[in-house]
Homo-oligomer: A and B are copies of this chain.
């Protein structure tokens, strides 16, 4: 548990024991960040903050959907930061952040350390004291840092998709299909966490809310605008992905046509050769001039070559070669 208190122009790190006191004093804004939460953290949530058991239960389970719930005296919010997983450039992992927000404090709970929260802390460190003493600005800094983690991921997926498209036109491989499918999965995950968050911010910025003061609203509108762009980009990329999939299937069908044309040409040429050599292999050698002719073998070879040249020209004309 890491406790920061923004009072006046100062940012003070408090020890856990000082929490109850600081809460009672109602001064500036307290940001309590819990990684885990540990058993002690859970006790604090239940006994010091007196949060509702259903909300505390939600901080213990992952795979929640972004949501904003109003309880008496505080709000509970779930949102996600995203991170590219190291192994595959096109896979993403979601980092759930559970948030309690009241006029004087913010409590963030997450199972593992989240870089976006480090970023938010750094940003708040640079912010004016007059802004960060209000909980809604601290909340903005946290949410905006989380939302900003979406853009590099989308850029990365966009670059992968671009590369794959070029690749698909030249050579459609099963590996490319595998990558397309990974991008699809990632886009589905991004959409699942960005769309509900966008709807939450739509409500926050278009209706009066106890959570946000009028003078901070412009910052929330900015986050909403970012979320609109994210969901827009995700949808556009889904469309492009579908297009890439269609290219894949079409290019494969095209290739099959090419291969079968080659097969037909091979069959025609070698078959013609077999018929001609078979003809001269018939047992009529004593009955017909050509079989007696000295230059017969040469004639046969020439006949085969002439047939091949003719067939070649026919296939050329058909544009099969």
Residue numbers of A with Cβ under 8 A of B are 52, 54, 63-65, 67, 69, 71, 165, 169, 172, 174, 177-178, 181, 184-185, 188, 192, 196, 218-219, 221-222, 225, 228-229, 232, 236, 239-240, 243, 245-257, 259-264, 266-268, 270-275, 277-285, 287-288, 290-298, 300-301, 304, 320
Given contacts A256-B257, A282-B297, A297-B282, contact A266 B271 (CB under 8 A): yes
Select A257's contact among B63, B67, B259, B284, beta carbons within 8 Å.
Answer: B259
Q: A69-B218, A172-B254 are in contact. List 20 more A-B contacts (CB 8 A).
A: A65-B229, A165-B181, A177-B250, A181-B247, A250-B252, A252-B253, A255-B257, A259-B260, A259-B264, A260-B260, A267-B271, A270-B272, A273-B278, A277-B282, A278-B281, A282-B296, A282-B300, A287-B297, A288-B297, A290-B297
Which residues on B sit within 8 Å (CB–CB) of A298? 288
Q: How far does the Cβ of A261 sit from chain B's closest Cβ, in whole Å?
A: 6
Which residues on B sit within 8 Å (CB–CB) of A255? 257
Select A67's contact among B225, B243, B293, B300, beta carbons within 8 Å.
Answer: B225
Which residues on B sit within 8 Å (CB–CB) of A181? 165, 243, 247
Q: How far does the Cβ of A124 sit from chain B's closest Cβ, in whole Å?
A: 16
Which residues on B sit within 8 Å (CB–CB) of A253? 249, 252-253, 256
Query: What copy number does this chain have within its complex?
Result: 5
A188 lies within 8 A of B240 (CB): yes
Q: How long is the Cα–Cα vector from A63 to B260 in the complex, in angstroms? A: 46
Which residues on B sit within 8 Å (CB–CB) of A287? 292-297
* A-B pairs with beta carbons under 8 Å apart, 15 shown: A174-B251, A177-B254, A188-B239, A249-B253, A250-B252, A256-B256, A256-B257, A259-B261, A260-B260, A266-B268, A277-B278, A282-B283, A283-B285, A284-B296, A284-B297
A254 lies within 8 A of B165 (CB): no
Which residues on B sit within 8 Å (CB–CB) of A221? 69
The residue in chain B whose Cβ has the minimal distance to the Cβ of A187 is B239
Q: How long is the Cα–Cα vector from A54 to B225 in the complex, in angstroms? A: 11
Which residues on B sit within 8 Å (CB–CB) of A304? 275
